[in-house]
Amino acid sequence: MTTKNSTLTTGTMRASVLVRPGTVEVQDVPVPTLNDNQVLVRISAVGVCGSDTHFFHEGHIGDMVVTEPLILGHESAGTIVAVGAAVSPDRIGERVSIEPQKPCRVCEYCKSGQYNLCQNIEFYAAPPIHGAFAEFAAIESDFAYAVPDHVSDEAAALMEPLSVAIATCRKAAMQPGSSVLIAGAGPIGILVAKVARIYGATDITVSDPAAHRRDFALGAGATRAVDPRTEDPAASGPLFDVFVDASGAPAAIQAGIRAVKPGGKVVLVGMGTDTVALPVSLIQNREIELTGIFRYTNTWPMAINLVASGLVDLDALVTHRFALENVEAALLTGGTDPHAIKSVINPRS
């Protein structure tokens, strides 16, 4: 291993650890050890994701259950400070955005390019794999993507939710002239609207009960924003080519499916209840394609290019910033501050 500081390989670091649902503690834990193909990243920024809050409040997401202390956080970026034996030491000092997963690379899914579906994948903050609410994190060298100097640390970290939006628009087969309905104007819904516009969608309707989020969405690429409590998009205009649920709310999913034209697509992104009643006969009669999104594959180059070129402003999403000691407050912010969009942890502060 090559390192800027030999103590990194044997020392400890501060990390915010989920010790049980509802409780996180800052602890001293070992600095991650590297395999030959990994790099050690000094973390500069970590976004707080809905999955982090689910694990914090409920201790599980579907069949992913927290059974032992876990470091949360997977939207991350920082600077390479050490490299494994097979990695060029020239990478030390490089600012990078982390794609937070390690696929096996040999299964049928990896070999077909669907490495997000690898059954042996190791993903940050998905039990039992530790995440990045810490001073350092290790990642495969080719999943640490260099970012230009003019891209901020926070924007580099938020390449992860932007990647979810890119994967969503790819799965939805967005194209010039598409009409899109998006339920939920949180970070993912906002970024889906932005990427849909880049893909050429011309009618982008965002539905959210919060007025400030609707306003934010209009500034991020949406052409219309509606309050689902008072307006049904399906009743006030033509049906949509695509419906994207970024809310996880059963009522939003059901209403969105009804708003899709025959032969249209439904993409489920938001996290909510494990089961939702669906209008099966409508789906059959309209031949609607319904699918989900599970992370992403091969999205970081596009994400970095969109941000570096100025087409996507990720810094504008950040409304709250917290130190490592205040991760619990960050995890609660989404439910306590109605104006929160994206919270970011800075382990160095």
Q: Residue 40: which region, alpha, beta or left (left: phi > 0; alpha: psi -120 to 50)?
A: beta
pLDDT at position 9: 55
In a domain, 309, yes or no: no
Which residue has tokens 């990695």?
87
Are residues 211 and 274 both part of a single domain?
yes
Are residues 323 and 238 both part of a single domain?
no
pLDDT at position 226: 95
What is residue 51's DSSP assignment? H
In a domain, 302, yes or no: no
Q: Three-class SS of residue 316?
A: helix
**How many structural domains does the chain have?**
2
Q: % helix / strand / coil in the chain, to the nearest 5?
A: 30, 30, 40
Beta bridge partners of 166: none
Q: How many residues does the chain have?
A: 349
Which residue has tokens 């069949």?
63
- Which residue range forms the structural domain that includes residue 34? 2-158+314-346
What is residue 91's DSSP assignment? G
Supply the CATH number for residue 272's domain: 3.40.50.720
Q: How many CB atoms lie within 10 A of CB 347?
A: 26
In a domain, 301, yes or no: no
Phi then psi dihedrals of residue 180, to 5 deg: -135, 135
Please tell me the distance from the alpha carbon of residue 165 to that of residue 161, in angstroms, as a whole number: 6
Are residues 269 and 170 both part of a single domain?
yes
pLDDT at position 6: 44
Are residues 138 and 171 both part of a single domain?
no
pLDDT at position 170: 97
H-type alpha helices, 150-273: 153-157, 159-171, 187-199, 211-219, 250-258
In a domain, 297, yes or no: no
pLDDT at position 342: 96
Supply the CATH number for residue 111's domain: 3.90.180.10
For residue 226, what are the CA distances in angstroms to 142, 150, 221, 272, 314? Answer: 41, 35, 14, 21, 23
Are residues 78 and 196 both part of a single domain?
no
Which tokens go with 6?
């030999």
Are residues 107 and 169 both part of a single domain?
no
pLDDT at position 348: 84
Please tell me the distance from the alpha carbon of residue 342 to that of residue 319, in angstroms, as a whole number: 6
Q: 45 exposed, middle or buried (CB, 10 Å; 0-12, 13-18, 19+)? A: buried
In a domain, 128, yes or no: yes
CA dihedral 244, 46, 97, 175 (to 10 degrees): 10
Are residues 147 and 244 both part of a single domain?
no
Which tokens go with 37?
């193909």
Helix axes 159-171 and 187-199, enclosed angle (nearest 10):
50
The residues near 286 (Cβ < 8 Å, ≥ 6 apart) are 260, 261, 262, 263, 264
pTM: 0.95
In a domain, 300, yes or no: no
Residue type, 120: N
Residue pLDDT tens, the chain, 349 long = 776 554 455 699 999 999 999 999 999 999 999 999 999 999 999 999 999 998 999 898 888 999 999 999 999 999 999 999 999 999 999 999 999 999 999 999 999 999 999 999 999 999 999 999 999 999 999 999 999 999 999 999 999 999 999 999 999 999 999 999 999 999 999 999 999 999 999 999 999 999 999 999 999 999 999 999 999 888 878 999 999 999 999 999 999 999 999 999 999 999 888 899 999 999 999 999 999 999 999 999 999 999 999 999 999 999 999 999 999 999 998 767 888 999 999 998 7
Q: Please, are residues 217 and 206 in contact by the beta-carbon 8 Å criterion?
A: yes
pLDDT at position 334: 75
Are residues 179 and 88 both part of a single domain?
no
pLDDT at position 295: 96
Q: Residue 245: which region, alpha, beta or left (left: phi > 0; alpha: psi -120 to 50)?
A: beta
Which tokens go with 159?
């390449």
Q: Three-class SS of residue 30?
A: strand
